[in-house]
Amino acid sequence: MNDRSEAAAREFLEALGPEELTLLILRDELYEGSWDEMKADLTGRRDGKPFIFQLASRIDEDLERIARLARYEEEHNLDLGAYLDEE
């Protein structure tokens, strides 16, 4: 990744709200960096299926946040979790 890409990733991360940062941290700590597993867990929770943890009553909002974060990572070919320690 070049310096411009890294700077853009840091800027994106700094602009995230506490909800997005929490989701990034939980993804890395509970789901070994997998958005797909986290989304499946939240969807299961919302649908009354077995789940791993309860974030809050705003599961649909969290799923939208996850989609936004995952899309950014995919578009920029990076892992935002790698930048969390810097924050």
pLDDT digits (tens, 9 = 90+) for 53-84: 554 557 888 889 999 999 999 999 999 998 88
Give the residue extent of every domain in the chain. 3-86
Q: What is the pLDDT of residues 3-15, one digit of tens each?
A: 888 899 999 999 9
CA angle, corner 67, sides to 14 and 26, nearest 5? 65
CA distance 1 to 3: 7
